[in-house]
Amino acid sequence: MTARLATVDLMRTDTPLGAPPETPLQTLPVRGPVTVVRGRPVLDVVIPVYNEEADLERCVRRLHDHLARTFPYGFRITIADNASTDRTPDLAAHLDESIEEVTAVRLEQKGRGRALRTVWSLSEAPVLAYMDVDLSTDLKALLPLVAPLISGHSDLAIGSRLSRSSRVVRGPKREFISRAYNLILRGSLAARFSDAQCGFKAIRKDVAERLLPLVEDTGWFFDTEMLVLAERAGLRIHEVPVDWVDDPNSTVHIVRTATEDLKGVWRVGRALATGALPLDRVRRPFGDDPRDRELSGVPRGLARQLVGFCVVGALSTLVYLLLYSLFRMGTGPQVANALALLLSALGNTAANRRLTFGVRGRDRAMRHQAQGLVVFGIGLVLTSGSLAALDAVPGTASHGTELAVLIAANLAATVLRFLLFRAWVFPSDSGAMTDHDPRTDR
């Protein structure tokens, strides 16, 4: 393995980022504990560096001492030099020669993401990790970080500085930027992990082989993109609260990094919205999670679809009632009902298509909207018929009575709409491209 890594400095590092992995493109196997092979490291910790001559040797020796004392399996420390121009390459070579478990890799192009992709792709260790050279994160969190990956419990693991039990020392500027960035991720990409940029992460080798070819970024956004795609694919991300002390001498350019990160958020968000990413390649099969149970007499996916449909339906009803009230100010009840129902039905079909039934991309989108309009027509008959029946009653009905009748009619139309959506518009055996995750079928 050492000889193979030693040739990295002679290899080209501008391989197309979308190059397919060597393993077959299919779903991942059922998660299990890693296989320990005699003479082969279980853990490979990568330290990406660029002009770090002041901290490199101290960092590597401290990390090596910690692993030698606390880690129960074989390990390797890989120094990934990102085209340094100071004495970093010489120091890395010296550490490689003097410490058996240390390997130095030289890349002629900068970029933390590029360094991690290169080394992780070549490593034979079943668990891959990385940490920043300043060792801002307390090393006592390293074993808890990788243990769930070794046991087969999780697919990725990250250190979190934003956990309530974390102890963090850093200035208000970095604290604000970190929290603001994670709020952006939650709001734009629906991310649920708490800390995207903490330099303390690990991934299983089998997951990296499938996931890394989908990650385009080669710089600081690499971490975020990897985590977002993993989360969207349904992989399990384990979070470890860490104790972290800010390095006042950090060379990270905050403004430039933030700008590149926002560009990355836009790119990944657009790819997810258009269904351009084949995330099915990195999903675990149904049955991997102990919660994957089929309920007797309940069609698979029904429970999740019911919840999604109810949420979309509740929001659509509010929109419908608001539109009806607005249109009713300038027109009669029948016209106001038809316009409000038409507009809310278009939004309802689009929302249910993506959120309830997991259909993505533009394939059959117009057909689904056309079928949704047929369902809308049935709902229009029910609600219009109810208004007509109310109008036939002697006396003048109040606006509140009209709304009550419409709500009752819409409830009946909603039940029929769900059945038609499930059996006709978005059948489970449809050839439409979906992002359905079988593990949510419960």
Which residues are identified as catalytic? 223
Rounded-to-integer distance, Cα 51 and Cα 45, Å: 19
- HSE of 362, CA atoms in CB hemisphere, 13 A: 3
Per the structure block, which two tokens stand in for 336?
Answer: 């106001």
At a CB cut-off of 8 Å and minimum separation 6, what does 373 contact?
Answer: 345, 349
Sign for the pseudo-dihedral over CA of 188, 189, 193, 197: negative
Rounded-to-integer distance, Cα 405 and Cα 197, Å: 53
Dihedral (Cα; 181, 183, 184, 185), 10-degree rounding? 90
Q: How far is CA 28 from CA 22, 77, 126, 187, 224, in A?
A: 14, 27, 14, 29, 21
